[in-house]
Structure 1
Amino acid sequence: MTEVNALKSTGIYELKVLKEANHEVIALGMKSAYRDRPQYKKVLDNDFARYKEFDHPNIFKYVELKETENLGTCIIMEWEDCRPLSDYVAESHSEEEKKAIINQIAEALDYMHGRRCVHTALSPSVIFVTTKGDNVKILNFRQRYADGLKQPMDTLKFVAPEAKDGTVTLDARADIFSLGQVIKYLNMPLSYRPVIDECCSFGRNERFPDIDAFLSALNHQKRSRADYHEGSNTGGGIQFGNKRKGLALVGVIAALVVLTAIWIFRQRSQADDAANAPQTEQVENIDANAANPTDSQSVGTNAANATPTTDVSFLDELMPQVKTDLDGIYAKAKGKKSLNKKVANYYKGLRKVLLQRGLNDDQLQAFDKAFGEYNAQKKAE
């Protein structure tokens, strides 16, 4: 193998693009001062064993663990012609083009999180963009520092607070913090500020709980998530298709808007019919109501002063969809905290829609009761 290019590396590892036969690869090895230290070689061995099965179009694939003449033990990874994210940012790209980059990074992280892996070191230094097609390629390894080597400030700002102090076990929210910093780095418009702020909250409980929630906020619409199925390609590897769909809260609420709109339309149609009905029919209805008072009315109260019964018929159309959505949230939840936040966000968004659609306090209370009862039922299961 002949060296083509050396990639920037500030820790104990060094990264070099090598030409092997008629194609290029990345060699991830240790700098000469660390090659003879067994503890670092063991880390390299463990990393290869853990990630060699990972196969995703936006992550550089591990190919083999190999002894080389000039670099010692190396992890060999696939490579294609790329430029670092810093070069991409220096170019002139539209908001939509940069948003596509963010989505690809998020998809790569989601793939890793689905396999119980947290990157923990996401920064522009490990993100590359292909020269053909502008496809994201991420280096999946954590740079390590030893002796006098210190992590530079330009990458330290991408590290989540809990990853710096090492006091807790890291989860997906550490990568979501880093992803928010990457969005800043891409100089996205101010309209992305709410998403960035939630990603980069100091307290990890205040961040998006997972990539699904992040993508829903980023894209403001229900989207079909691309994921993966096994299959043969021309290289004998694995291709990716569609396996799992993320819950898009905004899309769900939009669907429920349709249901509530139907109910409002029916209510108005009924009101119009009543207004145009013959006077004798209205009198007959009033007399019937007066003769059959509700529990809240006393005998002898006339119809003019009667309190109308709250119409909760909208729940007949709304609650089946709500139950289906809650079933999906519970089925896909990753931990109690994530579940509670998703249910709360779903409830708040839906109730806001109902309020905007003109439901009165009694109707909203009826919805709260129905929602609460089914949610309690799901918790008890």
Structure 2
Amino acid sequence: MSKFDLSNIKYVEIPSKGIFRLLRFTIDDKTYIAKTLKEEYVERRQYVALLKKEYEAVAKLHSTYLPVYYELIDDTRLGRCIVEEYIEGRSITDYLAEQHTEEEQERVARQLIDALQSIHQRFMVHRNLKPSNILLTKQGDNVKLIDLRPPFADEIQAPFTSTRFQAPEQKDETVAVDTRSDIYSLGLVLRQMTLPDNFAPVIAKCCSLGRTDRYMYAEDVATALDSRPSVDFSQGLKWAALVAGAAVIVGAIVYIAQSGISFGSDETPEEATSYILPDTVAADTAKQVAEVDTLSAVVPSGCNVDSVKQVIAARLESIYRPYQGDSIGTHSRQQISEQVRNCYYGIMRRLGTVTPEERAVIDQYFAKYRSNKDAQLKTE
């Protein structure tokens, strides 16, 4: 039996845009949020299904920087609701207006990247990253990333209330949305912050109009920042010492090279450039990780575009083949979408040696091939 019986609970409605109502209520001295549909959507089955899908997806995410989803209930008065953690805080826009230091803002930026990383590690996309969905807690100024838009059947689309922070491909719907759309939105948010110098080139790459020029995952953004240490140019003597030390190291390297001295390596060039999935992926996603590794293994590093196209065609045909000729429902479409998404990520992770132009061609080929296969499916 649910502990959240809302039939007689008093609540305060929090003003919100979009399709959802947000209701604040208290049980046993603890405050929660009930997320339910606005009246004009409550009888539309596709949006009721959207609530369930959001709960099933987000409840599996465990991160300090994401709200806790406690339960999905069907209330006699409010209809279907997600009961989630109430976050006492303010948006990142209000936080920045408080004139925090560069160091404090960098801490928030790092937390935001970590929050997005916990989503991408699940092969999910936030889809709605913008300042109003980034909250800072009243106690501790810790990030809470809210309003994640989980993947759902193609025919179920929730309206967006703002497009300012959307990636170009989200606005014109030219290709399927993936994690790089989140990266673009992340870059726009980070641009509004006062951050150390090492953030500038990373933000610029995040905000590339062509998604093949962006980082693939939030983890890649964090790695890029860690490889670009911030330099405090006010420390003139220390900087001079570093330059002098670097000169000594370069001289030593030149001497070693001229002397013919070599050092062994356990890595072959191919191993050194291969992609590795993050170790922090939760245990219950091991199956997805294995599928991605299997798919990516068939795409050799450095292969040409035509061979990648052949792999894409073969893999997508194998995914869609069991569903050909039969009418399918929403659940089957969700299964197909998950398999296609894992296939896409697995293949794209192996394309580190191709040019941006070649990657764009492969990207467009995948999207077009998938679109054609989707059009052939029969719906119940």
Q: Tell me the TM-score normalized by structure 2.
A: 0.60
Taking CA–CA contacts closer than 8 Å with sequence separation of 6 or more, which of the two structures ends up with the larger relative contact order? 2
Do the aligned partners of 2:198 and 2:228 also contact (CA within 8 Å) in 1?
no
Q: Which one of the candidate residues 143, 146, 150 is aligned to 1:139?
A: 146
Instruction: State the 1:328 CA deviation.
Output: 5.6
The answer to whether structure 1 residue 167 and structure 2 residue 111 are counterparts is no
Report the Cα distance in structure 2 between the residues aligned to 1:312 and 1:141, rounded to whole angstroms: 57
Change (3 A) 1:328 1:105: farther
CA RMSD of aligned residues (A): 3.5
Do the aligned partners of 1:329 and 1:339 also contact (CA within 8 Å) in 2?
no
Change (3 A) 1:33 1:135: same
| Aligned residue identity for 1:89 | L
Aligned residues: 261
Change (3 A) 1:111 1:342: farther
Change (3 A) 1:340 1:141: closer
SS in 1 for 2:65: coil
The equivalent of 2:121 in structure 1 is 114
| Aligned residue identity for 1:265 | A
The equivalent of 1:281 in structure 2 is none
Report the Cα distance in structure 1 between the residues aligned to 2:120 and 2:183, rounded to whole angstroms: 11
Q: Over residues 156-202 of structure 1, what are the superposed CA-to-partner deviations in whole Å (9 max), with x where a residue is unaligned?
A: 11111111222322221111001001112335477643222211111
SS in 2 for 1:186: coil
Instruction: State the 1:265 CA deviation.
Output: 2.5
The equivalent of 2:184 in structure 1 is 177
Instruction: State the 1:63 CA deviation.
Output: 0.9
| Aligned residue identity for 1:108 | A
SS in 2 for 1:128: strand
The equivalent of 1:2 in structure 2 is 10
The equivalent of 2:210 in structure 1 is 203
Change (3 A) 1:34 1:342: same
Unmatched segments (≥5 aa) in structure 2: 1-8, 153-157, 230-244, 278-344, 356-380
The answer to whether structure 1 residue 39 and structure 2 residue 46 are counterparts is yes
Report the Cα distance in structure 2 between the residues aligned to 1:111 and 1:75, rounded to whole angstroms: 21
Instruction: State the 1:332 CA deviation.
Output: 0.6
The equivalent of 1:320 in structure 2 is 265
The equivalent of 2:312 in structure 1 is none
Q: Over residues 262-288 of structure 1, what are the superposed CA-to-partner deviations in whole Å (9 max), with x where a residue is unaligned?
A: 6843765x9xxxxxxxxxxxxxxxxxx
Unmatched segments (≥5 aa) in structure 1: 223-257, 271-309, 345-381
Change (3 A) 1:178 1:264: same
Instruction: State the 1:138 CA deviation.
Output: 1.1
Change (3 A) 1:163 1:196: same
Report the Cα distance in structure 2 between the residues aligned to 1:100 and 1:35, rounded to whole angstroms: 40
Report the Cα distance in structure 2 between the residues aligned to 1:21 and 1:216, rounded to whole angstroms: 43
Same amino acid, percent of matched pairs: 31
SS in 2 for 1:32: coil
Q: Which one of the candidate residues 14, 17, 21 is aligned to 2:24?
A: 17
Change (3 A) 1:326 1:106: farther
Q: Tell me the TM-score normalized by structure 1.
A: 0.59
